[in-house]
Amino acid sequence: MTPSPTLYTVREIADTLRIHPRTAYRLIQEGKIRGIKVGSQWRVPESSLLEYIESGLQAPRNKGKDDKKGPKQLKLPI
């Protein structure tokens, strides 16, 4: 028998992501987080939550000499 996948409630998703429950609900409604409607309530598989988190990860920026987006130097009159 295969184990059941871990399912999270909207409140648990909100707590995990440190967002308001309404925001978590909206992310599910918009399809940004895949969920399953059980009766009148939403459940989110752990795999869907991890997918959402990983989709937001960004590679660190390479800060070398060529980085033109760094802080600008100000030249003050002497």
pLDDT in tens, the chain (78 residues): 778 889 999 999 999 999 999 999 999 999 999 999 999 999 999 999 999 999 987 777 766 655 566 666 766 666
Q: Answer whether residue 72 is part of any domain.
A: no
Q: Answer whether residue 61 is part of any domain.
A: no
DSSP-assigned beta bridge partners for residue 8:
44
| Overall domain count for the chain | 1
Q: Answer whether residue 27 is part of any domain.
A: yes
Q: Answer whether residue 66 is part of any domain.
A: no
Three-state SS string across 21-66, please?
HHHHHHHHHCCCCCCEEECCEEEEEHHHHHHHHHHCCCCCCCCCCC
Q: Answer whether residue 2 is part of any domain.
A: no
> Which pLDDT value is given to residue 68?
61
The answer to whether the predicted template modeling score (pTM) of the entire model surpasses 0.85 is no
Neighbour count for residue 24 (Cβ, 10 Å)? 25
Q: Answer whether residue 38 is part of any domain.
A: yes
Q: 55-71 as b/e, with b when 16 or more CB fall inside 10 Å?
A: eeeeeeeeeeeeeeeee
The Cα–Cα gap between 48 and 10 comes to 13
Q: Answer whether residue 1 is part of any domain.
A: no
Range of the domain at 16: 7-55
